[in-house]
A and B are shown apart, each in its own frame.
Chain A
């Protein structure tokens, strides 16, 4: 019974800890909005509730785990009482004195042995209860690894890669389709943009094309291989610049190579930084400067360009930019676009863009609306064939 209760409290502690971690993470993310909205105290109450549930479970578990000790001690004392009492009542106490003495000594020794054993048993119960979630995950990983066939090709490295979406349907919620039978191709070495209004499915295309998600139906292929298998193929075959890049603790070079091993190629770091428009940081000495992620050493635009340098570092066959230049000023954006144009041919570039200024020079633009491909063509072709595109071009002041 004690074991079952300890197990229950250990699981409850784990769940409360998870809730606390989750709430703290959320609060960190929205702390400014929360303060501005004046609801900080509500959040703190919630945080305290989950923390206190975790602390209570710990307290119960701790107390329950100490319970058997008292049971053992009391049993031995009671046992001794009956033993000594029996000796007094049914025989001569003097003749039993030595035996009683030995019994007492033996009892003390047994208590000394039983207590660590009892402590170990409690630790086992607590450990097993709190370890259950990890054990379940590990067993599931072991099963998956046994089933999975890791036959992926290594022949893709070092050349521009094509991209193919064939009848791709996807929804985060199966009831709510985000992409509906989307098909398009991007030839190796092309610079292609995927555009469309908010909610059209552009970022979902990015997630599927990079292999981070798999479609519910249809296939997404990179150079003829399934995108998910390319992603798992040792890394470096695809380059990604997300909407928001993050700095990591380490040197500038390590931030570009995303590796703290000694094999970072500093010359390559320098050339990638130049290519990404970070000329002021592209000095051999400067790349060894240590970066503190929250120190404010870099502006948002610089961090974004560093993200581009990072994506280029491993000579990917295809480069995906998900609204990657949206945080840059017009001049920097122009510089980055020129750098990307220089890469054209040697690397396939797929831009997910909201700002149409970045897609003017694309070889092809795929226009999405409500999860479907409405049209494909060059900038000018789309202006003529898609009224909504033309409207967006005019609104952004890009019409000539």
Chain B
């Protein structure tokens, strides 16, 4: 059997994974990507907050007006900035809670897959499927290696693959945010269509 060398490709793993587990993992991956959008939203909020603080500190009377093509003119006050910061904290707490739960769910599904792989290999080894005795094909040490060390490797691959996909979306958001911050003083935001270009009036 040819094993694909592209680590992002599930390749032959697709054929050995039960459909249910595959679907669950896909759903969880999508959920993790969506959760990362919360992170990106929170980071955008941090940028907006920085902008709001600068604008408020520059303006007289603790009140400033920001201009956004999407939201129009936004009046920012000190109290409003504090509420925004509380909302950002809430977003990060929510993101972290959901992320922890999703990561745990993913790991548990991967762990059940790992056990299932070991079960199938053990069954094949001890039941001699395919007519000839499997004991002819494996040595005990090979069985131990394949059934334990190697299946653990597959689980590590699956967990890491899902994490990598989630991290890449976060990185995309991070890069956007970085650009957002870089241009904060002048135009402010590209950031993710939510805010459009926003700056002090």
Residues of A within 8 A of B (CB): 3, 10, 14, 17-22, 25, 98-99, 102-103, 105-107, 109-110, 113-114, 116-117, 119-142, 144-145, 148, 207, 212-214, 228, 231-232
* Contact B181 A105, beta carbon cutoff 8 Å: yes
* Contact B121 A134, beta carbon cutoff 8 Å: yes
Shortest C-beta distance, A123 to chain B (Å), equals: 3
Query: Interface extent on B, as a size class?
Result: 35 or more
10 nearest CB pairs, A to B:
A127-B157, A130-B153, A123-B160, A106-B178, A127-B156, A134-B150, A21-B141, A131-B153, A131-B154, A22-B141
* Contact B12 A135, beta carbon cutoff 8 Å: yes
| B163 is an interface residue with CB less than 8 A from chain A | yes
Which of B16, B127, B177, B184 is close to A135, meaning CB atoms less than 8 Å apart? Answer: B16
* Contact B164 A145, beta carbon cutoff 8 Å: no
* Contact B153 A25, beta carbon cutoff 8 Å: no
Chain B residues in 8 Å Cβ range of A22: 139-142
Chain B residues in 8 Å Cβ range of A124: 7-8, 157, 160-161, 164
Chain B residues in 8 Å Cβ range of A148: 129-130
State A120–B182 Cα separation when bound (angstroms): 28
* Contact A228 B159, beta carbon cutoff 8 Å: no
| B73 is an interface residue with CB less than 8 A from chain A | no
**When A105-B181, A110-B178 are in contact, do A17 and B149 touch as well, CB less than 8 Å?**
yes
Chain A residues in 8 Å Cβ range of B90: none
Which of A123, A132, A133, A138 is close to B156, meaning CB atoms less than 8 Å apart? Answer: A123
| B171 is an interface residue with CB less than 8 A from chain A | yes
Task: Count how many pairs of residues, one from A and one from B, have CB atoms less than 8 Å apart in the complex.
Answer: 167
Q: Which residue of chain A lies nearest to B175 when distances are taken between CB atoms in the complex?
A: A110
* Contact B147 A134, beta carbon cutoff 8 Å: yes
For chain B residues 97-137, which have a beta carbon within 8 Å of chain A?
Answer: 117, 120-121, 124, 127-133, 136
| B60 is an interface residue with CB less than 8 A from chain A | no
* Contact A116 B117, beta carbon cutoff 8 Å: no
| B55 is an interface residue with CB less than 8 A from chain A | no
* Contact B13 A135, beta carbon cutoff 8 Å: yes
Which of A3, A103, A142 is close to B182, meaning CB atoms less than 8 Å apart? Answer: A103
* Contact A102 B184, beta carbon cutoff 8 Å: yes
Q: Which residue of chain A lies nearest to B158 when distances are taken between CB atoms in the complex?
A: A127
Chain A residues in 8 Å Cβ range of B163: 116, 120, 123
**When A113-B170, A113-B174 are in contact, do A139 and B15 touch as well, CB less than 8 Å?**
yes
Q: Which residue of chain A lies nearest to B123 when distances are taken between CB atoms in the complex?
A: A141
* Contact B129 A128, beta carbon cutoff 8 Å: no
Chain A residues in 8 Å Cβ range of B142: 18, 22
Q: Which residue of chain A lies nearest to B124 when distances are taken between CB atoms in the complex?
A: A141
Shortest C-beta distance, A358 to chain B (Å), equals: 27
Q: Which residue of chain A lies nearest to B150 when distances are taken between CB atoms in the complex?
A: A134
State A102–B163 Cα separation when bound (angstroms): 28
State A66–B53 Cα separation when bound (angstroms): 40
Which of B124, B144, B150 is close to A21, meaning CB atoms less than 8 Å apart? Answer: B144
> Majority SS of interface residues in chain B?
helix
**When A106-B182, A134-B151 are in contact, do A123 and B159 touch as well, CB less than 8 Å?**
yes
State A99–B182 Cα separation when bound (angstroms): 6
Shortest C-beta distance, A332 to chain B (Å), equals: 31
| B185 is an interface residue with CB less than 8 A from chain A | yes
State A172–B111 Cα separation when bound (angstroms): 38
Q: Which residue of chain B lies nearest to A141 when distances are taken between CB atoms in the complex?
A: B124
A-B contact pairs, 5 of them (CB 8 A): A18-B142, A120-B161, A123-B160, A132-B150, A232-B127
User: Which residue among B140, B142, B150, B179 has the maximum number of chain A CB atoms within 10 Å of its CB?
Assistant: B150
**When A14-B150, A126-B153, A130-B150 are in contact, do A21 and B145 touch as well, CB less than 8 Å?**
yes
| B78 is an interface residue with CB less than 8 A from chain A | no
Provide the B157-198 mask, 1 if CB < 8 A to any CB of A, else 0. 111110110011011001101110110110000000000000
* Contact B154 A109, beta carbon cutoff 8 Å: no
State A214–B128 Cα separation when bound (angstroms): 11
State A110–B185 Cα separation when bound (angstroms): 20
**When A131-B157, A141-B120, A142-B15 are in contact, do A18 and B145 touch as well, CB less than 8 Å?**
yes
Which of B120, B145, B174 is close to A138, meaning CB atoms less than 8 Å apart? Answer: B120
* Contact A213 B124, beta carbon cutoff 8 Å: no
Chain B residues in 8 Å Cβ range of A19: 141
Shortest C-beta distance, A130 to chain B (Å), equals: 3
Shortest C-beta distance, B163 to chain A (Å), equals: 4
Given contacts A110-B178, A148-B130, A213-B132, 5 further A-B contacts (CB under 8 A): A18-B145, A21-B144, A127-B156, A128-B7, A130-B152
Q: Which residue of chain B lies nearest to A105 when distances are taken between CB atoms in the complex?
A: B181
* Contact B155 A127, beta carbon cutoff 8 Å: yes
* Contact B177 A109, beta carbon cutoff 8 Å: yes
Q: Which residue of chain A lies nearest to B12 when distances are taken between CB atoms in the complex?
A: A139
State A214–B139 Cα separation when bound (angstroms): 19
Q: Which residue of chain B lies nearest to A207 when distances are taken between CB atoms in the complex?
A: B133
| B79 is an interface residue with CB less than 8 A from chain A | no
* Contact B185 A98, beta carbon cutoff 8 Å: yes
Which of A129, A137, A207 is close to B121, meaning CB atoms less than 8 Å apart? Answer: A137
Shortest C-beta distance, A166 to chain B (Å), equals: 17
Which of A119, A130, A138 is close to B117, meaning CB atoms less than 8 Å apart? Answer: A138
Chain A residues in 8 Å Cβ range of B164: 117, 120-121, 124
Chain A residues in 8 Å Cβ range of B139: 18, 22
User: Which residue among B136, B152, B157, B161 has the maximum number of chain A CB atoms within 10 Å of its CB?
Assistant: B157
| B28 is an interface residue with CB less than 8 A from chain A | no
Chain A residues in 8 Å Cβ range of B152: 130-131
